[in-house]
Amino acid sequence: MWRHAAARRSAQIRRLLSTSAPSAGAGSAVRGPCIVHKRGTDILHDPWYNKDTAFPLTERDRLGLRGLLPPRVMSFEQQYERFINSYHSLEHNTQGEPDSVVSLAKWRILNRLHDRNETLYYRVLIDNIKDFAPIIYTPTVGLVCENYSGLFRRPRGMYFSAKDKGEMMSMIYNWPAEKVDMIVVTDGSRILGLGDLGVQGIGIPIGKLDVYVAAAGINPQKVLPIMLDVGTNNEELLEDKLYLGLRQPRLEGEEYLAVVDEFMEAVHARWPKAIVQVCVCRSHTLVAKSMMLHC
């Protein structure tokens, strides 16, 4: 039954993604073209608006893109086919390699697409969710989290830390979307049986939300993965020069709750109707207490 429901929701979101990219604050459906205020390379560097070589000549002229792209205009379907062919070539070229190497290589090619063209990325996931779910989420996401600091290329989602105490209410407005329907947050303390991975646990909220978008039809522009960094007790990470999180022991008890309280208050102030899923947090009782106060 869930497969039929997922298929219906996937068809709905496919129609959404086949239109022009949504603008910030758009409704749950996009009716006709949206107004794009960006121009030139700003569009090409924004994965929400970037269509790569699919921009027709009229849009290239109107948006200041002529000369910034190869001259051939490729359709969305041609781009889709090109990516799938590249993915299959990767599978062929990595035959015989260790499973971990192959899985990370597959994750990288999907992540590069995610960084460049989100419309095409979600179309690929929706049409191939059975094949790609193990890559964007378990089991591959565990490998990604373990190696996150070394794999990091560009930020995705938001990061709140113990060092931001007193600033979270203003920080929450740095997120560009006017409306957020669903938030997945973690403190990185218990990642898929791998233990305390600190800030590197951000891969869990990102992966969960991608699955929710592709399989459940949630609007991808209205989701937000969040890392709540309160330190880590993982000595290996604390000694790693590439580690991107706070280099301090993990907060406990009332200190931890104070950070969670401020975070939840900020989220509730801006998006009072948003669903907040707390995953793999060490102090479930404290988090539940805070959510009851603010939700």
Distances (CA, A) of 85 to 90, 243, 247: 9, 35, 42
Backbone angles phi, psi at 277, to 5 degrees: -100, 120
Instruction: Answer yes or no: 137 catalytic.
Output: yes
Closest CA to 116 of 65, 22, 52, 39: 52
Q: Does the annotation count 208 as an active-site position?
A: yes
Catalytic residue among 87, 121, 148, 208: 208
For 105, 152, 158, 169, the CA distances from 155, given in Å and listed in that order, are 19, 8, 8, 20
282 is in an annotated binding site: no
Nearest to 150 by CA among 103, 108, 95, 208: 108
Angstrom distance (rounded) from CA 83 to CA 163: 41
Give the integer Cα–Cα distance in Å for 234 and 51: 41
Please check whether residue 135 is in contact with residue 106, taking contact to mean a CB–CB distance below 8 angstroms: yes
Report whether 146 contacts 188 (CB < 8 A). Answer: no
Helical axes 2-17 vs 118-127, angle rounded to 10°: 150
State the catalytic residue, choosing from 137, 212, 243, 256: 137
The catalytic site residues sit at: 137, 208
Residue numbering of the annotated binding site for (S)-malate: 190
Residue numbering of the annotated binding site: 190
